[in-house]
Structure 1
Amino acid sequence: MQNRKKLSGAAAKQIFLGEEKKLNILLALGKFGWLSQSQLAMYCKTSVQTIRHVLRRMMNDKLIWTETYNDSPGVKAFALTRKGASLLKKGNQGNSLEKVSTFYKSRGFLSNFEHQYHRHLANEFLIALQSEQIELGSHLVSNVKSEYEIQTLKNTANSIFQCVPDSLVLTTDMTLLIIEIENSARGISQHAGSLSHWLEVFAERYEQDGYYSDSLRSLFKELVSEDDEGSFDYPDFENVEQIFVCRNEAIFRNIWRKVERVTAAYSACRENISYFVLPKKQQWHNIFLGIEPRFHDELETRELVIRGSERHKYAADRRQQIVEELNATGVSRSLLARQHNISVSTLDRWRREFLRSI
């Protein structure tokens, strides 16, 4: 590397900014596990072109690896190598991380991870919040815990919420935002029990107290203080808001109806429940640009649920035709469901109805 003492003016400034962006990239990858090029640009608040140059130098220095996401139009994910993680740990920036994510091979670090787009959405949402691409009223983001970090703290998270959230955000007014990424109907069914239990606790607390406050314990260790006697002081969150990020309208309607059922007896909490509904076409860059939150009891939100229900109504004879098509052609359930603009669970229900009628 050139000696900075021999440089001045624009050249010295350019080298300094490049080093600063490199450290920011190391920290981002240590915190989130892996990120795309556009996510790193948003995190570092710079252009994709600038980030591309920095990433190229970091790859040449063997600080990061890259691999292409499955089912993406060539979108690459970047992650730390052992050398990159070691460099991050040596600096003070790595002290706030529970665990620094490392990948020791240049190929295959994503291959064993099934839900790649789920993680991509979770990371994108947090970074969009931090960069203020997403606005949540008067809330200002103070601290975030990524999905990767939550997994290292899942026992603590489960003891507080009776479930393990996908991501957590703490605002400057100590409101805790609990983020759930709903990327597939299958995912909804897999964690329906824990999600329902959490919503019941959440709803009951709001009905009784009008708010939900509790200790953060060790979820945000960077906020824990120690007094002169060596005792630790764990801060409290003062309120909770639940946010569902829904991959499409069909998933949104399933989640909305579940929330409606669970909170039927304790509706006071619904003003603290919101949804981000993504367009049908899968996006990889600037996913949340122009997407505004929908609150549970808003008229427009309910109208979206009703419109979707009407669109998916089929007469009995038409339902039977679709089931017969499934049985006759052997086409996959997910493909047939997409062709007829219904969910796989709806198709399965029609199939059971058809079998009972035989």
Structure 2
Amino acid sequence: MVTPCPTSPVSPAVPAGRRDSDQNLRAPVKKSRRPRLRRKQPLQPLHQCPLPGDSGVCDLFESPSSGSDGSDSPAVFTARSCSRLLGPAQHSLQLDLQTFRDYGQSCYAFCRARESHFHPREPLARQPQVTAASRCKLLSWLIPVHRQFGLSFESLCLTVNTLDRFLTTTPVAADCFQLLGVTSLLIACKQVEVHPPRVKQLLALCCGAFSRQQLCNLECIVLHKLHFSLGAPTISFFLEHFTQARVEAGQVEASEALEAQTLARGVAELSLADYAFTNYAPSLLAICCLALADRMLQLPHRVDLCLVGHPEEALQDCLGKLQLLVAINGKSLTHMLPTQICEKCSLLPNLK
């Protein structure tokens, strides 16, 4: 009897067991594969500089010794070639008049209605260990820090608002006051900054006096005490609104309005560190800072103090205190402003 070839069809007379054994003897057929295309060069990341996380989450995936060499210190981090870390004075202010025409008055009315809800009055009334001098010292330290990280003026205003509102609710020990300052800065940056500072960098500013767990715990406490209500109207918003309103009305040129806004921001930074100005609402402070800036720049058409609807007595009182503040801290103000504005400022000859 002739045995069928393994490659030929199996005869029906062959038993099933024999058919199975014959099939197992067949050589496997190799399937043809398409040629694989290999990259000649590996893909490069889109961002050459490392992007910091918003709350230190990215730090948790790093090795514990990644920051021990000081490479993430604020000074080194600022020196990196990243365009996003330019100081606030180096950013050119721009006016979006079309957006102002569409939403300006509605946003202003909404913020003015909520202003009193977010305005802390006498934040140190319940603080047995924190004084006005210590608050001034902390904010005088935080203002250069926010400039070093290239943060916006809105972030600084929200930091001070978060700090003062928390002080109205909870007594703070003197040795934890600095930690509260950097925690308030972190919370503010999470709201408005695209790339907020990392927790590791904020802790480095405190020279290792606090741990990551302490900062995260305090952050949760602050958010709980404030009931997660963080969208406070700030001086920065009102300064921008008044600037766009006067340009849209044709009262001043856009270049003059932007110079006055920059000078008003410098004056407002000085007022944030002074406890005497905590009783004034942000809209009142903004219009007074802008009025003082117009006077210092000697603009022919100055802003109208009656735009905000505050009492005339309060406006004049705030304006007088701002003039005294600038007269005392004039030299510090010149370091906050661009050179061209300092040259136009009427107070500059008295500072030489």
TM-score range normalised by the length of the shorter chain: under 0.3
Larger helix share, 1 or 2: 2
Instruction: Using CA pairs under 8 Å that are at least 6 residues apart, name the structure with larger relative contact order, 1 or 2.
Output: 2
Q: Which structure is larger by alpha-carbon Rg, 1 or 2?
A: 2
Q: Which has the higher strand share?
A: 1
TM-score by length of 1: 0.26
TM-score when normalising by structure 2: 0.27
